[in-house]
Structure 1
Amino acid sequence: MCDLCVMNAVKDRLLSRRDLFRSASAAGAGALLGASAAPAVALGASSGQMADMTHVLDENFPTFSNKSTFHLKQRSRFEKVGFNTKEIVVNEHSGTHIDAPLHFSADGASVDEIPVERLIVPLAVIDIRAKAAENADSQLTPDDLKCWTDTHGPFPKGCCVAMNSGWAAHVNTPRFRNADWGGTLHFPGFHVEAVQMLLEEGDDIAGIAVDTLSLDIGPSPDFPTHCAWLPTGRWGLECIANLDQVPHAGATLIVGAPKFKGGTGGPSRVFTLF
């Protein structure tokens, strides 16, 4: 663990609004919703580098059900009317997408109610690729969080904590779902104790992100991480791409979340500056 921390440090040097922030996030609501004149968080300085953290979404993108949840239909053709238009039919939770608090709560904030200050945030990337390569059901644990803070210091105020399990490399293969003979999926995710630690000790963490299909591990029957995290007014990102292209600390994450009224989430264009 300590050797990994050292290696990561060296690599980095080289390279509802009504209820949105109730309970665990109540203390931060006033500052965020009233911060129109100044940034809510301290963003990292950019050297001009950027990375697209979004997978291309098409009808073949992997899903929990193994059935397509995205369809793009041609409605107008240039050769006939002088312009092209297409109609999108999509499940909110398809491709690289955001989970809004409403996804796992009765009356949490919908995706259109997430303040923009919560969508442009510092990024902390935690690398668990080594153990994920050995065990598909590996989880990001409190020990992994501590390893990151031992190397980089406290998590930045209002940041997103992202899990890099290396799973994005499998996106166009059956390995991404990794279903066993009984249909149970197997891929990494956040351990519920890790998100509880972020809620208790983190400085108003805005969101968490994973490079897999779910914030929870694949075989989870009851989604404890979703249940612990989203109802506190925070968001999650699933199926994020290219975490290996950004530093473990110091980048700024920009989440282009959709503004679907009453939506529980939606496909998003996500990128970083560093």
Structure 2
Amino acid sequence: MTLYDLSHPLETGMPVYPGSPPVEIGRTATIESDGYATSRLELSSHTGTHMDAPAHMRPDGNTIDTVDLERFRFRAVVADCRTLEPRTPIDENRLTGAVTVSEKTLETASLLLCYTGWAEYWGTDRYFDHPYLTADAGEWLVEHDLNLGIDALNVDPTPGADDDDPDAKYDGAATYPFHHTMFAADRVLLENLRGLHALPTDTVFELLAFPLAVADGDGSPVRAVAVVEE
């Protein structure tokens, strides 16, 4: 059995979604001065490797603290969606074509990991120009009772500096169609994963991703760990 850490470390200045507060981590006590060390963490609930709860975009959606704990123990399969150009949409056909496990194996899974390879651009401007999933891909996932994880900043397109209307306001499902498709079916999402290159693509394996128990939380950072039997 091998454990694979799929989480980005939390650190000051790390990449965040446009408009989110910057991450700041600093000392509030030191061993030299106080005999113990403690730190202050200032960050969004959707910082780094994190989980989105349905309450992230739905007023009636489950909050992160009300999602059944058993749902954070996933049976995962990988869909290899690499070699895509920046901002390429991953529709149902592209997503299903990247799944190599059998239909029978897929039926035992609860999480599909969309491996874009974009984690290698972490910390660069290119990281914000990631591929993204479409609503019909979400509908296919819902039909197969699957949640979704991705090694990119967002499952929907992330606004860029070259957008025609950078001041455009949120317009419900039209702005985040994949999020809304999944949340309407009470699915959870994992974003900003890393290390998917080390995982098998021909079998199902366990993935653990437990969020903080944030009261009425819309999301939370997680420590995502894959458990692969050799």
Q: Does 1:173 align with 2:128?
A: no
TM-score (norm. length: structure 2): 0.86
On the 8 A contact 1:75/1:85 being kept in 2, the answer is: yes
The one-letter code of the counterpart of 1:214 is N
Q: Does 1:84 align with 2:27?
A: no
* SS of 1:112 mapped into structure 2: coil
Deviation at 1:256, TM superposition (A): 2.0
Structure 2 counterpart of 1:196 = 139
Q: Does 1:152 align with 2:95?
A: no
Deviation at 1:162, TM superposition (A): 1.2
Distance 1:216 1:103 in 2: 14
The one-letter code of the counterpart of 2:189 is G
Structure 2 counterpart of 1:142 = 92
On the 8 A contact 1:195/1:229 being kept in 2, the answer is: yes
**RMSD of equivalent CA atoms:** 1.9
TM-score (norm. length: structure 1): 0.73
Note the alpha carbon deviations across 1:204-262, whole angstroms, 9 max, x for none: 22x20111111113359701001111132110011001111101232211002111011
Distance 1:75 1:219, change over 3 A: closer
Which runs of 5 or more structure 1 residues have no equivalent in the other structure?
1-47, 178-185
Q: Does 1:209 align with 2:149?
A: yes
Deviation at 1:157, TM superposition (A): 3.7
Structure 2 counterpart of 1:218 = 158
The one-letter code of the counterpart of 2:97 is C
1:42-191 matches, cutoff 5 A = 48-65=1-18, 68-130=21-83, 132=84, 135-148=85-98, 151-154=101-104, 155-157=106-108, 159-177=110-128, 186-191=129-134
Deviation at 1:165, TM superposition (A): 0.6
Structure 2 counterpart of 1:258 = 212
The one-letter code of the counterpart of 1:75 is T
Structure whose alpha-carbon radius of gyration is higher: 1
On the 8 A contact 1:60/1:68 being kept in 2, the answer is: no
Which runs of 5 or more structure 2 residues have no equivalent in the other structure?
161-173
Distance 1:145 1:60 in 2: 33
Distance 1:191 1:252, change over 3 A: same
Aligned length: 213
**Which of the pair is proportionally richer in strand?**
2
On the 8 A contact 1:61/1:68 being kept in 2, the answer is: no
On the 8 A contact 1:118/1:158 being kept in 2, the answer is: no
* SS of 1:57 mapped into structure 2: coil
Runs of 4+ that moved beyond 4 A: 148-151
Deviation at 1:158, TM superposition (A): 5.1
On the 8 A contact 2:20/2:44 being kept in 1, the answer is: no
On the 8 A contact 1:128/1:163 being kept in 2, the answer is: yes
Q: Does 1:268 align with 2:222?
A: yes
Q: Does 1:244 align with 2:197?
A: yes
Structure 1 counterpart of 2:167 = none
The one-letter code of the counterpart of 1:260 is V
On the 8 A contact 1:59/1:68 being kept in 2, the answer is: no
Distance 1:151 1:259 in 2: 34
Fraction of identical pairs, as percent? 23
Distance 1:145 1:173 in 2: 26
Distance 2:226 2:100 in 1: 24
Note the alpha carbon deviations across 1:78-111, whole angstroms, 9 max, x for none: 1112101112111101111100110010021111
Distance 1:65 1:219, change over 3 A: closer
Distance 1:266 1:100 in 2: 8
The one-letter code of the counterpart of 2:226 is T
